[in-house]
Structure 1
Amino acid sequence: MLRFLPPTLKGVISAILLGLNTLIWCVLLYIPAVLKLVVPIQGFRVLCTRLIIAIAEAWVACNTGWMKLTQSTQWQITGADQLQRESWYLVLANHQSWVDIFAMQRVFNRRAPFLKFFLKQQLIWVPVIGLAWWGLDFPFMKRYTREYLIKHPEKRGEDLRATRRACEKFRYTPVSVMNFVEGTRFSQGKHDQQKSRYTHLLTPKAGGAAFVLDAMGDTIDTLVDVTIAYPGGAPTFWEFLCGKVPEVRLDIATQPIPEHLKGRDYASDAEHRRNVKQWLAELWAAKDATLSRHLDGEHRAS
């Protein structure tokens, strides 16, 4: 088994296997993606989207097999039995490592609709996988700085309009719209700079989740709250490839999204902004307590 190889050699072989697996499935995915682009019939495009998702799920399943072949990671998962494939979900998770996405894909694959998340517009040019993201209808967003909006006020609200356009595609097939609401991976330096009130988390940013609720409030009813913990410490991607992730824990909890948070304009409604921020703050306080249960005991034991 590859898991018993020296770490550096294992990392190199793992990277090659992951790259080949991604290349093979992405090439297959391009066929229905191009057909969806050139045939402007909504029903046919929905069919192509379902085929694309099936191919992507096969890619994730092979990634799971690759992990089992190369790693001896212990997985502790709670709450996955609550997930349903024919549902529309808003998925919120804490973010510590590139490994987070692989971990969530492994657990969600074929249990819930395929995970889709917002990407920076520049990422569409990433070789091989950028076109795959486009075919999967991942929303590509162009963010404007406060300074830019002051100079170009006509662009104000463009983020929400782009989100609405992207989310329109999600109405025809079940989807899990994922958001790392901290906006960046956790580090102690970022935590200290923010003066975060939480022990294990950065301050959540409400805009991304609020834009989804504004655009899809009549479609998405359920929040999937995911807490990711690495008792051995958050790994780098290279450590992951080398099999140096001893344990991954995911707590998954579903709950209804409050009705008063749906379908309102986050950009212009001050009361709505306060409500969304308060909702996220309560979620994050509970998540911080969950992480403390997973991590603080490990730290004391060490």
Structure 2
Amino acid sequence: MLSFLPGFILMVFSVSMVILNTALVSLLIGVMALLKLLVPVAAIRHVLTRGCNYVMYGWLCGNALMLRLVNRVEWEVHDSTNLNRHGWHMVICNHQSWADIVLIGDIFRNRLPVPKFFLKQDLLYVPFVGLACWGLDMPFMRRYTRQQLLKNPALRGKDVTTAREACAKFRTIPTTVINFVEGSRFTPAKREETKSPYQHLLTPKPAGLAMAINVLGEQFEKIVNVTLAYPDNEARPFHDMLTGRLTRIQVWIEEIPVTEVQRGDYMKDKPFKRGFQQWLSGVWEKKDQLLNER
């Protein structure tokens, strides 16, 4: 609608819109989060959690509006799913850009419960945003380097424990848990640095995903496997989205039933751990093939 305007004007407009939307939503959720912290009554906390989810839905709608106002996008969606908005779902997705969050929110905002993301620990300390994400019970994951784990073995598995504790809070309200399983945005440099076996993807990190499924495995109706691509904007999709230059989005969505292959004790059951890693590697191989053939 506004894509005819110069890019720098669209950048100012879209960034302002995102900041205002995020600030307002963070403030509202932050207030409810503080009330949740101060009021030790389960029923009231439950109502406040639902309130936080409604405000989060408003944030998704605001981002979708920005995307459509600023860009003239051609969507290519391959979707074989039949989703239940009132159920529990695990969404796994490749991670190309910050734009992924906007797109996933847009695609599923009226088809699935309000999403909860696995977030990096650093976001907890971002003013307003960190408190809002905490109020939404989003899991904050801290990735430890190999050197840190060797120096302090007690840290091993701590992020998985965090995922388990966070996902346990989702039992009472239908929830969509979104996990960018690679743990970081894809770049060719990261692929080379991590020696990823895939051409368009980083190697997936299975532990947090396995733990979340183990905690809520019986409640998760299905795993929703999403593959995203920006065929005309691979270099800077988020920047291009903000400046009205995002032109084409490709999305593949499929359902994967939750079975004994995905449900088990990843930390203690070594045969299950090997099987889960093989299953997830197979999913990522298929993603890589889709991205290679598009």
TM-score, normalization by structure 2: 0.92
3-state SS, counterpart of residue 32 of structure 1: helix
2:164 aligned counterpart, secondary structure? helix
The worse-fitting range, judged by mean Cα deviation, of 161-170 and 276-285 is 161-170
SS of 2:274's partner is helix
Matches within 5 A, 1:48-197: 48-79=48-79, 82-197=82-197
Q: 2:227: which partner in 1?
A: 227
Separation in 2 of the partners of 1:183 and 1:157? 15
SS of the residue 2:3 aligns to: helix
**C-alpha displacement of 1:143:** 3.6
Q: Which runs of 4+ in 1 moved over 4 A?
A: none
* Per-residue Cα deviation, 1:137-182 (whole angstroms, up to 9, x for no partner): 1112334444334443444443333222111111111111111112
**2 CA distance for matches of 1:223 and 1:257?**
7
**Which residue number corresponds to residue 255 of structure 1?**
256
Between the aligned partners of 1:252 and 1:53, the Cα distance in structure 2 is: 24
**Could you tell me how far apart the structure 2 residues matched to 1:199 and 1:219 are?**
34
Return the offset for 1:80. 7.4
Q: Give the residue type in structure 2 aligned to 1:257.
A: V
SS in structure 2 of the partner of residue 116 of structure 1: strand
Checking the alignment, whether the CA contact within 8 Å between 1:60 and 1:106 is kept in structure 2 is: yes
Residue 191 of structure 1 deviates from its aligned partner by 2.3
Structure 2 SS opposite 1:261 = coil
Residue aligning to 1:297: none
**Rounded Cα–Cα distance in structure 1 between residues aligned with 2:149 and 2:196:** 27
- Offset of residue 81 of structure 1: 5.5
The CA deviation string for residues 201-246 of structure 1, in whole angstroms up to 9 with x for no partner, is 2222212211212322232241100010111032342222101111
Contact 2:224–2:254 (CA<8 Å) still a contact in 1?
yes
Alpha-carbon separation, structure 2, partners of 1:275 and 1:85: 30
Match of 1:300 in 2: none
Q: Which residue of 2 aligns with 1:299?
A: none
CA RMSD of aligned residues (A): 1.9
User: Is 1:246 aligned to 2:276, yes or no?
Assistant: no
Conserved? CA contact 1:182–1:203, under 8 Å: yes
Identical pairs, percent:
40
Structure 1 contact 57–110 (Cα < 8 Å) conserved: no
Task: Give the 3 Å change call, closer, same or farther, for CA 194–141 of structure 1 in structure 2.
Answer: closer
Aligned to 1:2, the other structure's residue is in SS state coil
1:11-37 deviation per Cα after TM superposition (whole angstroms, max 9, x unaligned):
112111211122222222233222222
SS at match of 1:82: coil
Q: Give the drift of 1:93.
A: 0.6
| Unaligned residue ranges in structure 2 (runs of 5+) | none
What secondary structure, in the 3-state scheme, does the structure 2 residue paired with 1:248 have? strand
Matched residue type, 2:275: N
SS of 1:96's partner is: coil
| Other-structure match for 2:203 | 203
SS at structure 2 position matched to 1:147: helix
When structure 1 is superposed on structure 2, of 2-11 and 146-155 the one drifting more is 146-155
Tell me the TM-score normalized by structure 1: 0.90
For 1:153 and 1:229, the matched residues in 2 are separated by 38
Aligned partners of 1:218 and 1:263 also within 8 Å:
no
How many residues get paired? 293
SS in 2 for 1:37: helix
**Alpha-carbon distance in 2 for matches of 1:155, 1:45:** 31
Contiguous gaps of at least 5 residues in structure 1? 295-302
Give yes or no for contact 1:229–1:249 (8 Å, CA) kept in 2: yes
Moved more, 193-202 or 63-72: 193-202
Q: Distance in 2 between matches of 1:193 and 1:149?
A: 19
Q: Is the 8 A contact 1:8 1:242 kept in 2?
A: yes
CA drift of 1:62 comes to 1.8
Check the 8 A contact 1:80/1:108 in 2, yes or no: no
How far is the alpha carbon of 1:277 from its aligned partner? 0.8
